[in-house]
Amino acid sequence: MNARNKSVIQAPYTVEQLMSLLSDVCDGQNMFSHQDFVYWCEKYTLFHYKYEMDESQWLADLESEERAHFAKAFLVAKDVPAKWQHYLMQQFSFQDLKDQPLQDILIPQAYFVQWLTELYSYDHVN
């Protein structure tokens, strides 16, 4: 087991932290598993539950210059577990998933680049 599998992400649920974690993965500097990142993103969306509870607030923030980056980060954080689950279902059989620790599974690097690009494009436009 490598050091990456021993670290759980303990970081605040902020846009800046989401961008930092994505940068770490893109740069190959992450000391956490992709599964740990998925769990962190799930907690991020729970922490920012107001968007889940009120879609109109999310849409309003998405159109606001001041709050668009928060709304976009929420969307990215929601996409992470969805892509993780889709990847697992497409790439592994049920038996494979039972036999292999999820901590060892890596989703494609392109996903992380896409998420980070989405955040930076919003961050720099607004």
Query: Is the pLDDT at 59 greater than 70, yes or no?
Result: yes
Structural domain boundaries in the chain: 3-125
pLDDT 10s digits, 75-95: 999 999 999 999 999 999 999
State the pTM of this model: 0.87
- Percent residues over pLDDT 70 in the chain: 90
In angstroms, the CA 117 to CA 46 distance is 23
What would the mean pLDDT of 51-79 be, rounded to a whole number? Answer: 92
Q: How far is it, in rounded angstroms, from Cα 60 to Cα 34? A: 31
pLDDT tens, position by position, 1-32: 344 445 589 999 999 999 999 999 999 999 99
